[in-house]
Chain A
């Protein structure tokens, strides 16, 4: 079946540090890949996406590249801010049994950025 594996958090960084959150996936067919962010008490917001191999998604200084050969979609940011503190979910959308394409989420990685 389809699954997403994320690194376990929390990830604790100082402001302006470099961020990497690892994500790998297992899927049938050719999934689309996403990173969502969830701030405390809120729903999920799409951060970035990539729909095919070698695509790079980017938004608000965050980037992730769809690597088919390593089945990975690692999230990076060159210089984090306190306001980036949130939970980050890697997700894929791919064919599931029954013919439906369903978003499937990783466990989430909590990011804490200190001033």
Chain B
């Protein structure tokens, strides 16, 4: 199983809503990532978890709150988002925190903030 599964695939939310994005992998990977991708742009790193601990936060606004409940799951909690936060949110995982092995990506959650 080399899959990273993200749910939901599409999400529309209002600026006052609270929602969560979910990511799951069963490859035994101990590094998990959240990326944000705007149209026609490369993915931008948001957060990195290594061995279930937050190791990198790329100065992401606090309206995005990551959580890693266990080694297979990664969540991204969303609250009071802005329309400019609309994007494709990608989850990825890799075998270890070294990053010398490839990252496997999910299909992404297409988020629209209205």
A interface list, Cβ under 8 A from B: 32, 34, 36, 41-46, 49, 51, 89, 93-94, 98, 100-108, 110
Which of B42, B97, B104, B108 is close to A105, meaning CB atoms less than 8 Å apart? Answer: B42
A-B contact sample (10 more), CB < 8 A, given A45-B105, A100-B48, A110-B40: A32-B100, A32-B102, A36-B105, A43-B108, A93-B103, A94-B99, A101-B99, A102-B33, A102-B48, A102-B56
Chain A residues positioned under 8 Å from B48 (CB to CB): 100, 102
A-B pair count, CB < 8 Å, reads: 67
Chain A residues positioned under 8 Å from B107 (CB to CB): 42-43
Pair B42/A100 contact, Cβ less than 8 Å: no
What's the Cα separation between A43 and B94 when bound, in Å? 15
Name, among B6, B40, B92, B100, the residue most crowded by chain A CB atoms within 10 Å (CB to CB). Answer: B100
What's the Cα separation between A104 and B100 when bound, in Å? 12
Kindly list the 9 A-B residue pairs having the minimum CB-CB distance in the complex, ordered from nearest: A101-B99, A105-B42, A93-B99, A44-B105, A43-B105, A43-B107, A43-B108, A46-B102, A103-B103
Pair B99/A100 contact, Cβ less than 8 Å: yes
With A44-B43, A107-B42 already in contact, the answer to whether A100 and B105 are too (CB < 8 A) is no
A30 to B, closest residue via Cβ: B100
What's the Cα separation between A42 and B45 when bound, in Å? 18
What's the Cα separation between A32 and B4 when bound, in Å? 21
A45 to B, closest residue via Cβ: B105
A51 to B, closest residue via Cβ: B100
Pair A102/B90 contact, Cβ less than 8 Å: no
With A42-B107, A45-B105, A93-B99 already in contact, the answer to whether A100 and B33 are too (CB < 8 A) is no
Chain A residues positioned under 8 Å from B101 (CB to CB): 32
